[in-house]
């Protein structure tokens, strides 16, 4: 079943671009990564799906229902961890969480304590005394304690120390195994690579690629390094080759296409060394971001 369906969603803030013509689907049980640099439109997309803001054009459905018409009903089963966590000051964490829990029909008390213990969050502190990372933890407990079917995580790991980040990822994987669908927005690719099944790459408000994590990394691009005497980089200027770089006796490039074409070229040369490897997501990502500039 499709949990999220977005069709041609467009948002302008006055004249400023938010997102443009964004379409994608998220299936039930997926961990869907949403990557892009700051200002690309990640938060705008999430806030539209929560009906915190209204679209200029386009449609969005969650659980098969229009998010702008059935928002309250849909949000029963949604958890949300905002990127910037602001809460009512002068309140104890426990009181804030109890207030948050009071919006849901089921009793969240047990899960709330479990999550707080797991994330090492002191429930008796006052919210305004908390560090940024601890506020993030409040957000995590708040977003998951009512056992939602779908959770939006907007840059969830910023502010968490590495140990906590790991715990948090374990938690997300565990919840996902129980059926939670996760929408994970981030600009840190390594974490998306670690966690997500599928990713959408957003750039300047537009989706530039949606692919399986495996496809994206394994099947699409190869990173090729060739070492030989008297190399002419023009020799590798084939269709599908990008980012061709030449230093001393070494040529680097990315290749997308039939790998045999490159191999045939290579076999004609007297090589000192060659490596063909999968690029990291980071490198693929840089590729998408630089393509239009070159």
Partner 1 sequence: MKANIYWFELRRKRNSLLIWSASIALVALLYMGLFPTFADYAAVLQETLKRLPPEYLEAFGMAGVDLSSVTGYYSFVFTFLQILLALQASNYGFGLIAVEEGQMISDFLVSKPVTRAQILTSKLLAAFTALTLTNAVAWASSFIFVEMFREGRPYDAHPMVLMLGSIAIFQVVFLSLGLAFSLLVRRVRSVAPYGLMLSFGAYVLNAFGDLLGDVKLELITPFRHFDPTYIVRNNAYDMPLVGLSVAMIGISLAFSYWRYIRHDIPAVV
99 binds partner 1 (CB under 8 A): yes
Give the CA distances from residue 210 to residues 35, 164, 172, 195, 216, in Å, rounded to whole numbers and listed in that order.
Answer: 10, 29, 22, 16, 9
Smallest distance, Å, CB 84 to partner 1? 5
- If residue 19 lies in a helix (H) or strand (E), which one and from where to where? strand 16-27
Binding flag, residue 156, partner 1 (CB under 8 A):
no
According to the binding rule CB under 8 A, does residue 132 interact with partner 1?
no
> How many CA atoms does the CB half-sphere of 31 hold within 13 Å?
21
**Among the candidate windows 21-29, 96-104, 167-175, 258-266, which touches partner 1 by CB under 8 A?**
96-104
Q: Which stretch binds partner 1 (CB under 8 A): 95-103, 193-201, 222-230, 260-268?
A: 95-103
User: How far, in Å, CA of 7 to CA of 45, rounded?
Assistant: 12
Q: Does 84 bind partner 1 (CB under 8 A)?
A: yes
Q: What are phi and psi of 66, to 5 degrees?
A: -60, 125
Interaction between residue 15 and partner 1 (CB under 8 A): no
Question: Please, which residue, 52 or 263, has the CB nearer to partner 1?
Answer: 52
Nearest Cα to Cα of residue 192 among 242, 235, 157: 157
Q: Strand pairing partners for 78?
A: 150
DSSP conformation class of 137? H
Which CB, 125 or 243, lies closer to partner 1?
125
12 binds partner 1 (CB under 8 A): no
- Contacts with partner 1, residue ranges (CB under 8 A): 13, 43, 47, 50-54, 71-76, 78, 80, 82-84, 86-88, 99-100, 102-104
């Amino acid at each position: 079943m499709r949990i999220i369906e977005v069709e041609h969603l467009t948002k302008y803030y006055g004249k400023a671009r938010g997102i443009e013509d964004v379409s994608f689907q998220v299936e039930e049980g997926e961990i869907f990564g949403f990557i892009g640099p700051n200002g690309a439109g990640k938060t705008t997309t999430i806030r539209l799906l929560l009906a915190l803001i209204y679209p200029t054009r386009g449609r969005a459905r969650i659980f098969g229902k229009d998010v702008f018409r059935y928002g309250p009903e849909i949000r029963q089963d949604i958890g949300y961890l905002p990127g910037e966590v602001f809460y009512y000051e002068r309140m104890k964490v426990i009181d804030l969480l109890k207030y948050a829990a009071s919006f849901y029909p089921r009793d969240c008390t047990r899960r709330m304590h479990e999550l707080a213990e797991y994330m090492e969050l002191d429930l008796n502190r006052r919210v305004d005394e908390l560090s940024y990372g601890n506020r993030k933890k409040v957000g995590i407990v708040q977003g998951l304690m009512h056992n939602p079917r779908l959770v939006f995580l907007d840059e969830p790991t910023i502010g968490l120390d590495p140990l906590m980040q790991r715990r948090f990822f374990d938690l997300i994987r565990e919840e996902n195994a129980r059926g939670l669908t996760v929408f994970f927005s981030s600009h840190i690719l390594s974490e998306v690579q670690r966690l997500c099944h599928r990713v959408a790459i957003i750039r300047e408000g537009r989706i530039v690629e949606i692919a399986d994590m495996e496809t994206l990394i394994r099947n699409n691009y190869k990173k090729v390094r060739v070492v030989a005497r008297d190399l002419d980089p023009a020799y590798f200027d084939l269709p599908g080759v990008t980012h061709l770089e030449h230093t001393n006796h070494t040529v680097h490039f990315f290749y997308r296409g039939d790998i045999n074409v490159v191999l045939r070229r290579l076999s004609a040369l007297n090589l000192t060394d060659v490596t063909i490897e999968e690029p990291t997501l980071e490198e693929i990502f840089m590729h998408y971001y630089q393509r239009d500039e070159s």
